[in-house]
Structure formats: C-alpha cells, structure tokens
Amino acid sequence: MKKKLFYLSVALMGLAMAVSCCGKQEEVKDDAANADAAIDAIMQRKSVRAYTGDTIPCEMIDKLLRAAVAAPSGMDVRPWHIVVMTDKSQYEECFAGNFNMDKFMQAGAVFIFCADTTVTRPPRENPDAPAVTTPNPIWRDDMGACTENFLVAVEALKLGAVWTACYPFHDRMDPVAKYLQLPGNIVPYSIVPVGYPAGENQPKDKWDESRIHYNKW
Ligand SMILES: Cc1cc2nc3c(=O)[nH]c(=O)nc-3n(C[C@H](O)[C@H](O)[C@H](O)COP(=O)(O)O)c2cc1C
C-alpha cells in the first residue's frame, strides 16, 4: 500500500512538473511572438499621407494616446499635452497656411502634440523648499519620443499617419497657438493626421551598415 502511494505521488509530481514546464514553454513562445509583433510595428511604420476619411473609433484613439504617453522623458517630467481634433470645420483657422492641410482634411482625426516647456518642482539642492518653475532644456527630446511611440502604435493598429513638423516653424505654430489659446509655456510641437490608409504604402529600407560603429568611429 505504502509503495503504491509512493509511486502515485511521484507520478503526480511528474505530471505537475510537466504541466508547469509546458506553461513556461507557452510563455516563452508568447514572449517571442510579442517581441516579433513589437519589432514588426517599428519596422513596418511608414509615413502615410492619404486617408479614406473614415472616422477612427474612440477605443483606437484611446489606445494611441496611451501608447504615446508611455514614452520615456528626461527626469520623468512628461511635458506632453495632446489635443485631439476631429471637427474639420475648425481646421481652416487652426491650421491656417499649413501646407499639410490636405492631409488634415482627409484624416479621421488630427493630433496636436504640445509641450510644456517649463518644469515645476522643488529646487534640486533643496527638495523641501517650495516648487519653482524653470525652463525644461530637454522637452524636445521627450516630445520626439512621445510622437514616435504614437506612430508605432498607429502602425500596430493598421492605421496610417504622418509626423508633420510644427515647432520651430512660427508660420505653423502661431495659428495653432492662437486658435487653441495655448498658455505661453505651451508649444505646439508636432501635428499628426491619422486615418485609414488610402492605397498601398511601403516602409523604406533604411539599413546602412556604414552608419553602425562598434567600439570606435
Ligand atoms: C520632425 C519631422 C517633421 C516632418 N514633417 C513633415 C511634414 O511637414 N510633412 C510631411 O508630409 N512629412 C513630414 N515628415 C515625414 C518625413 O518626410 C518622413 O518621415 C521621411 O520622409 C521618412 O519616411 P518614412 O516616415 O516613411 O520612413 C516629418 C518627419 C519628421 C520626423
């Protein structure tokens, strides 16, 4: 009887181990598939400049915004504010004179990535002192990361978009700032029309071995 119980418990342990190993293998497979999907979205991203004009569901917009603000930022200050524009009747005034207007008009939504160029926090040397507001010298870097995160998410959702420059071109920034009544410390950095792609678009192959340097130039 004792022997039987012993063999039964050994068999059960073996089964449990097999199941847990199987689970781990599945996890490894899932991790690999997730990595492939993430890298694929990066490699397949391309500028898309023509859209069907269909509106984009709110759930997709929500996913895009969440991906954008997951970006890294210097000292984690997260300088971004994103204005979502869907009412085309506002575009003539908001984007007055912008040569990308045709894309904005075709898009399902237009996203204006704005930056708070200041940072408010206690002085570094005295964390207990009251917060002070100072210029943030690296807001542009943070905004680039935020915009690129957004574009990769656009690709992952099989939508199309193009990064259009706003900052530092005053002829593009000023109408946006005026129309949205942006506070003085808020700069419109990039404008991204998003829509369902009209036609075929292919990513460019940008790999150039001569741009890669190991350990020395
Ligand atoms: C900072 C920046 C500003 C850009 N401004 C514009 C623009 O105003 N209009 C436009 O059609 N594309 C614009 N682009 C898109 C580039 O032309 C495009 O990324 C480049 O040609 C590479 O093509 P790809 O995005 O398909 O890889 C801009 C891209 C960046 C990063």
Answer yes or no: is the C-beta of 151 below 6 A from any ligand 1 atom: no
Give distance in angstroms: CA of 202 to centre of ligand 1: 14
- Ligand 1 atom closest to the Cα of residue 46 is 26
Q: Is 159 helix (H, G, I), strand (E, B) or coil?
A: coil
Token readout for 138 is 């690296």
Give me ligand 1 centre to Cα 49, in Å.
Answer: 10
- Distance from residue 172's CA to the centre of ligand 1 (Å): 15
pTM score > 0.85 for this model?
A: yes
pLDDT digits (tens, 9 = 90+) for 1-18: 566 666 666 666 665 666
**Quick one: pLDDT band at residue 217, thresholds 50, 70, 90?**
very high
Query: pLDDT tens digits for 118-170?
Result: 999 998 899 999 999 999 999 999 999 999 999 999 999 999 999 999 999 99
Decide whether any atom of ligand 1 lies within 6 Å of the 100 Cβ: yes
Helix (H, G, I), strand (E, B) or coil at 12: helix
Question: What's the gap in Å between 168 CA and the centre of ligand 1?
Answer: 15
Size (the chain), residues? 217
Q: Spell out the domains of the chain, with CATH numbers in brackets.
A: 58-194 (3.40.109.10)
Using most ligand atoms within 8 A of CB, pick from 163, 173, 205 the residue to mutate for ligand 1.
163
Structural Rg of the chain based on CA atoms: 25
Residue 47: how many other CB atoms lie within 10 Å: 14
Q: Whose CA is nearest to atom 7 of ligand 1?
A: 164
- pLDDT tens, 45-76? 999 999 999 999 999 999 999 999 999 999 99
